[in-house]
Structure 1
């Protein structure tokens, strides 16, 4: 994976970062601490515009902000499933899950497994687990 330039100069608009800005920040997350980001920044960046970038970051075991990216993937999956895929395309989520199952490490494969379980059993949604990082911190399978 290509590691961006050694300096990150900040976001032009932290509420709507570009994929390149997010990628650069992810390799230098101490340059702009999460505590200085807008409230619920994780929810703001967990959309279609950045999901491919977030997935790439979550797949990169050398990325310092990998766990943050994985957390955002949990938000993205839950948001799509809970809205009946009005928020995000089902096809895109399924492709990410399939790619994670084939090439991801244990952390990413656990996300893929949990996403498949939630697809089958939306009643297993727990806000703390999916949107507040519980599943990332505990790295456990649901169901």
Structure 2
């Protein structure tokens, strides 16, 4: 059964969804609209436990919730960098950036580029861009 054919049956715990639940939802996001999720759900799911799943979804051009997953990658990157990698391991973020550079399309290459720019210049952090979806919507490449 492919990911797209998985039937989303809801989250056992929306505040802490399982990777398979998040994956099933991502291919049927209209079944539980983001507006009905807990406040700041994007911030809640953008942690180490789900980052691999979110990365896979952001890399999948056929995923209806791809932009949401990309938004979560921006949150994850910013959170790691802003906390000097106390929130998330530097090595994990670097591995994701390398994978995006090797296999990603333009959206993922832009995320990887912006993440490396923020690593080099943390003062460029802007909450709206990194945590409220500004860079996802604009597609802007930082310099």
- TM-score, length-scaled by structure 2: 0.97
Partner in structure 2 of residue 9 of structure 1:
9
Partner in structure 1 of residue 107 of structure 2:
107
Partner in structure 2 of residue 44 of structure 1:
44
Partner in structure 1 of residue 133 of structure 2:
133
Q: RMSD of the alignment, in Å?
A: 0.8
1:5 positional shift: 3.3
Partner in structure 1 of residue 24 of structure 2:
24
CA offset digits 1:95-128 (Å, max 9, x no partner): 0000000000000010000000000000000000
Q: Distance in 2 between matches of 1:123 and 1:5?
A: 43
1:11 positional shift: 0.2
Give 5+ residue unaligned stretches, structure 1.
Answer: none
In the alignment, is residue 80 of structure 1 matched against residue 113 of structure 2?
A: no
Q: Would you identify which runs of 4 or more consecutive aligned residues in structure 1 move more than 3 Å?
A: none
Partner in structure 2 of residue 122 of structure 1:
122
Q: Distance in 2 between matches of 1:34 and 1:107?
A: 21
1:4 positional shift: 4.1
Q: Distance in 2 between matches of 1:3 and 1:48?
A: 21
Any idea what SS the aligned residue of 1:21 has?
helix
